[in-house]
Structure 1
Amino acid sequence: MRSYDDDTLPLQPPIRLPAASTLAAAVRAAPLSGELEAALDPEHDRGAEDDARVLEAWAEVCRTRLATDEGLLLELIRMFLSREPVAGRVPQTLTDLGLVRQAEPYTLSWLGLWVARLIIAETAGQEIPVMGSLADAGAAALLHGLRSYPEAERAEELAGWLTGRDAGQGAAEIAAALAGVSPLSRAVGVELLATGLGDEGRRALNGLLEEPRLGAVVAARTGREERRTAPDEIAWVLVDMAAALLEFGGEAGEVIESIAMGMDAEEQAGTIAILAFGDHPWTGRVLRVLIDHHPDERVSAAARKALRRLHGLADTRG
């Protein structure tokens, strides 16, 4: 089956799915459900046809069908990404598999959303979150999952996660996770602490301000000018801010602008020269964007030099 480069697929917002029993019932009602029996594991008797086995078997049926017709695969992914009704008819096979509603407006069914999510995870490596699925997650997994959530859905998911926790405990767990998560997850966590968890969240943020690097990121994202950024933190903060945009799937121009901050080309080149010394795990990816997309050759040349220096420092550190 065709694969997709996750770097070109922006993070997708969460979807809502019904219980497995509802999805399995949709499989059994699909026009092509006759193919289910052949796909079920023959080592299990029919009495063992639980919902999970039905869904696993139907996923394989769909993979096989879509692998033989790239047009079907592309249409399924297009419908998933647009989340909009299709004007006119859709491929009959998608309807017969139960992936598209059989009457207008033609949109993906619950089963279609489920299959498309599965295929995107397998081909692009992006695990699109399902609403309500993060309630039992740890703080780091919560922040990772919330990266693509719109504001209202994020608040709903956070409320579910806080069930059984008070705001102070939740804030403490999120604050403790911030240093070890990805740049975008860290940005989400800072925003939650600043605006979503009341006084407890803001107190937790205040407690992070003196932390090396992390405190500088918190200060930059919350406008805490009284927290001075040390010279050795500047590169780390710049990369972390740019990397969050890159992780979300932002345009190259947005990443470049986050580094430029209104500076002219000469000033940008001087700033970029220090990025290699920040030891941020996303430094190489940010420099590559500047090399490939910055419109000023002086800046892209500085980025190439910084990338060579970064590789040299990595070799020295072993």
Structure 2
Amino acid sequence: MRHIIIFLAGILMIFIGGCSGLTQVQDSVTKFDQGAHTIATAQVTFFRSAQTADCNFHFYTRALEYSHNPNPTPGVLPLMAPCDKSSMAITDDQIALRQNLLNTITLYADQIQAVASTDSDKTLSDNARDTAKNINDAAKALHLTGSATPVATGVEAAVIAITNMVLNAKQLRDIKAAAQEQSVNLKNVVSRLKIENINLAKHLAEIADNITQQFETSIATVKRDGILVNAQGTTISRANNSQVYLLAITARQMLLNTPPAGIAFAATNGSTQDPVTVAGQINSALDSLVQANDSIASATTGGLIADVSDLVARAQAAQTMQTALAK
């Protein structure tokens, strides 16, 4: 009898330990899913902020050209004219394409969470599956990147593989196998987003640098020999030191208020808001997403918990910065 009790106790401990491990995995995968969605939100906010910054810089350029026009009556400069988004560093259509890549990532994370759940039905909602099918069809038609280059083709193939996983979810039973199978595909999609983030950031940084130099040159010119004129072009007076001072303050404030492309601004925590730094923070979060997925595929429970915690922290930090810059 004593042997039977010991045997049953051992079975109970194994059962409890197994449930504990399963619960930890499920909890980590839920956080993995949340982290993926947080990154996607931060990423889109970055794109929209880049549009706003580019729009402001376009206006600053027009304003500088207007102010330097030798004609004293060159017409009215429309202060509230809408931006021409087709000429932006990133257009609405380009954001829509990138949104498909982000949706692919979040659909994948949603599916991994569904596989880890105890529900017998591993399929996502009809709306999610419709989204997956639309993205899958667009990828097959090479409509996600607008290019048939080797890099783009690899991304399209990765998107097709991931969305196929969502569309065929009834076949999925092993979370580890699913994560292993999609590891390379996830890395390809993330890699494409990272490259585009840095390219966009460098473009914005270049524009910001050019505008800054134009501001500095204009202020120096006003200080040296600038004059104030009336609407008829008649000289009123030379600009005094106070007016130059106000010009300098205004110019700096305009740059600081054009995130994420404004000048590097050191915050109290030592962070900066220059575009390359902002893009780098998002890319770091994307890297942590890949690392967390690799842990789902192969690492121990302890490693998974640590990597997912890192993912959540980096994703939240990226979202916090983007939210602050978007205000």
What's the TM-score, normalizing by structure 1?
Answer: 0.24
Flag the structure with more relative contact order, 1 or 2, with Cα contacts below 8 A and sequence separation at least 6: 2
**Structure exhibiting the larger radius of gyration computed from Cα positions:** 2
Higher helix proportion (structure 1 or 2) = 2
